[in-house]
Structure 1
Amino acid sequence: MSSQPPHPALLIPGPIEFDDAVLQSMSHHSESHVGQPFVNVFGDVLAQLRKLFQTSDPASQPFVLSGSGTLGWDQVAANLGEPGDEALVLHTGYFADSFADCLETYGVKATQLKAPIGDRPQLDEVEKALKEKKYKILTVTHVDTSTGVLSELKALSELVHRVSPDTLVVVDGVCSVGCEEIKFDEWKLDVVLTASQKAIGCPAGLSILMASGRAIEVYKTRKTRPTSYFGSWNNWLPIMQNYEAKKASYFATPSPQLIRALHTSLTQILSRPLEQRFADHRNMSQKIKKAIGDLGLKQLSSKPENQANGMTAIYLPEGITPPDVLPSLTKKGIIFAGGLHKQIAAKYIRFGHMGVSVTDPNRTDIDKAIAALKESLAEVGYKA
């Protein structure tokens, strides 16, 4: 039984519901960010992230900075891109537009390869684009939170390494790390960036990133200094290396309470085989998607291979908009998100199903959400 005050179940694609122990970690007494007890915890966190991302390569480097997932984009653009460099941005929704905008803010030329809403760029299209121009960076949103589209990483990375081996493979994993399988070393990924508040199940406020040895080398051999100060690896790389070695170090003040909460969450995640965690999310996703189909509703992502396991984007029936159902859902103790994709925002809602709402067998969030959705649609005249 949760010790949290009664509240609606937060089933948006992040932030998500938190485990009691994670929230209790936020209540840790104030401590020095360079004191050995905290340094030891931070070092453990970095080691745990290696396990979560599935990398054992000592040349790879985890980073944990105070900030949101968006700071990961800035780190990529500022440290791996230089003004005039070319980047190929694979577009599956709203967040590719934003990543491209971030890259261009730092002087990197971003070319977007777009797919129809609910789909992803096909490998032959990516191959054609890579053969037409030399790109320093390729970015892919593993799960686009605006559409629920899942991109396939393994085959994509194999293609990039075969066709354009010098191109860095950068993954926006904000809505995937912790609920979708990612094998950093095996799939030869160069950067995976994420945030604390989604499937990792920690309060918002931490930008989390894993960089490969190859990416670190590209950063080290750049001709110009990084174009960010706070996000510069010139400042953060030695800090992260020292923390992982359990040595006190300082550039900018981290949040000890958030780091402790992250430590608790990662400890919980890694207490079971990752394969089981990913299977739990797949199984729950299939249950939800079947329920959506049984209600006669369609997903933005119509192809099963494109459907994320941690969220579902659901088209509402004709004539029904998010404001018609979201307030009713809240009254029933369920919070879903409205549409985010600019072209179709008024036509759909988003159901987040990741973290403890999926993995804790004592929680009934998902069953309640499915029942509440059915009831709310019936209240506005929809008959399944």
Structure 2
Amino acid sequence: MSSQAPHSTLLIPGPIEFDDAVLQSMSHYAESHVGPAFVKTFGETLTLLRKLFQTTNPGSQPFAISGSGTLGWDIVASNLIERDEDALVLHTGYFGDSFASCLETYGVCATQLKAPIGERPSLAEIEQALKQKQYKIITITHVDTSTGVLSDVKAVAELVRRVSPETLVVVDGVCSVGAEEIAFDAWDLDVVLTASQKAIGCPPGLSILMMSERAINRFKSRKTPPGSYYASLANWLPIMQNYEANKPSYFATPSTQLIRALHTTLSQITSKPLAERFAIHAQVSDKVKAAVAELGLTQLATKPENQAHAMTAIRLPEGMAAADILPGLGKRGVIFAGGLHKEIATKYIRFGHMGVSVTDPGRDDIDKAIEALKQAFAEAKQAKGL
């Protein structure tokens, strides 16, 4: 039995439900951020991140910094590319626009390669774009939280290494890390950025990155200083290196309780083979998507290869809006999210299925949500006369 207060089950695409032990670790007593106990915990946490991202390269560096996933964009935009240089942004939804906007804030020339809603740019289109100019970075939203579209990071990285090997491969993994496979070394990636509150299963407040030696060297060879103070690798790189080496260090005070919680959830995740974790997310995703199809509903991502395993974006029938069904779910103790894509925000809902709601066999979150969806949809259809 959970020790948490009774509450509606949160099944949005992040924040997610949290394990009791993770929440309990947030109640750790106050401690010095440079004291030996915390330094040891932080150092172990960074080492556990290497396991999560599947890297053993000593030249790569994990980061865990107070901030949201959005801070990861700033770190990339202010450190790994300079003003007037070119970035190619692969657009699969709302967050492609946002990453491009962040890059442009720092004076970067961001070219978006856009796909229709529910689609992703083809490899042929990406290859053609890469041959048109020299891009310093390419950004890939692994799972766009607005559309539920899954990108093929491995295939794109292979293409970039063949066509434009000097281009840094940057992956926005905010809605994928911990649920979708990411093999940092094997796929030859340069940056994967994420946040604590999604499939990793830690409360919001940490921006998490893994950065390759190639990316770090790109930063070190900059012609101009970084465009941000808080996001500067000049400030954060030695901090992370020191903590991982079990040495106290200071630039800005870390979120000590959140680091404790991250240590707890990463210890849980890495105690079992990651392949098992990815497989159970895929199995539950198939179950959810089959239930959606049984209701006669479709997804924004219509092709199976484009469909994420940590969330499902469900298109509603003509004449029904998100506001017609979300309250029905809520009164049944289940919380889904409304649409986020600007063009069709009212026309779909989003079901997040990741983390302990999927991996803990003692929970019935997914079955409860599917049943609630069936009932709320039937109720909404009747009310709308559909």
- TM score, norm. by length of structure 1: 0.99
Mapping of residues 189-338 of structure 1, within 5 Å: 189-338=189-338
Mapping of residues 13-52 of structure 1, within 5 Å: 13-52=13-52
Question: Does residue 377 in structure 1 map to residue 363 in structure 2?
Answer: no
Equivalent-residue separation in structure 2 for 1:6 and 1:322 (angstroms): 25
Give the match for residue 3 of structure 2: 3
Equivalent-residue separation in structure 2 for 1:60 and 1:354 (angstroms): 27
Question: Does residue 349 in structure 1 map to residue 349 in structure 2?
Answer: yes
Equivalent-residue separation in structure 1 for 2:312 and 2:378 (angstroms): 20
Equivalent-residue separation in structure 1 for 2:52 and 2:373 (angstroms): 33
Alpha-carbon shift at residue 381 of structure 1 (Å): 2.4
Equivalent residue letter for 2:14: G
Q: Match of 1:210, SS?
A: strand
Q: Match of 1:198, SS?
A: coil
Equivalent residue letter for 1:359: T
Alpha-carbon shift at residue 284 of structure 1 (Å): 0.3
Structure 1: which 5+ runs fail to align?
Answer: none
Alpha-carbon shift at residue 318 of structure 1 (Å): 1.6
Give the match for residue 183 of structure 2: 183
Alpha-carbon shift at residue 125 of structure 1 (Å): 0.1
Q: Match of 1:381, SS?
A: helix
Alpha-carbon shift at residue 109 of structure 1 (Å): 0.5
Give the match for residue 169 of structure 2: 169
Alpha-carbon shift at residue 3 of structure 1 (Å): 0.6
Give the match for residue 85 of structure 1: 85
CA deviation map 1:114-153 (0-9, x unaligned)? 0000000000000000001110000000000000000001
Equivalent residue letter for 2:213: G
Question: 4+ residue runs of structure 1 moved beyond 6 angstroms?
Answer: none
Count of aligned pairs = 384
Aligned-residue RMSD, C-alpha: 0.9
Equivalent-residue separation in structure 1 for 2:294 and 2:10 (angstroms): 23
Q: Match of 2:188, SS?
A: coil
Alpha-carbon shift at residue 81 of structure 1 (Å): 1.1
Q: Match of 2:117, SS?
A: coil
Structure 2: which 5+ runs fail to align?
Answer: none
Question: Does residue 101 in structure 1 map to residue 101 in structure 2?
Answer: yes
- TM score, norm. by length of structure 2: 0.99
Alpha-carbon shift at residue 377 of structure 1 (Å): 1.1
Equivalent-residue separation in structure 1 for 2:343 and 2:380 (angstroms): 24
Give the match for residue 66 of structure 1: 66
CA deviation map 1:255-314 (0-9, x unaligned)? 110000000000010111000000000000000000100110000000000000000000
Equivalent residue letter for 1:381: K
Equivalent-residue separation in structure 1 for 2:63 and 2:107 (angstroms): 23
Q: Match of 1:236, SS?
A: helix
Give the match for residue 359 of structure 2: 359
Equivalent-residue separation in structure 2 for 1:225 and 1:133 (angstroms): 25
Equivalent-residue separation in structure 1 for 2:116 and 2:15 (angstroms): 27
Equivalent-residue separation in structure 2 for 1:246 and 1:222 (angstroms): 29
Equivalent-residue separation in structure 1 for 2:61 and 2:362 (angstroms): 36
Alpha-carbon shift at residue 224 of structure 1 (Å): 0.6
Equivalent-residue separation in structure 2 for 1:296 and 1:314 (angstroms): 11
Alpha-carbon shift at residue 380 of structure 1 (Å): 1.8
Equivalent-residue separation in structure 1 for 2:373 and 2:113 (angstroms): 35
Equivalent-residue separation in structure 2 for 1:7 and 1:180 (angstroms): 28
Equivalent-residue separation in structure 1 for 2:44 and 2:289 (angstroms): 37
Equivalent residue letter for 1:2: S
Task: Provide the identity percentage.
Answer: 72
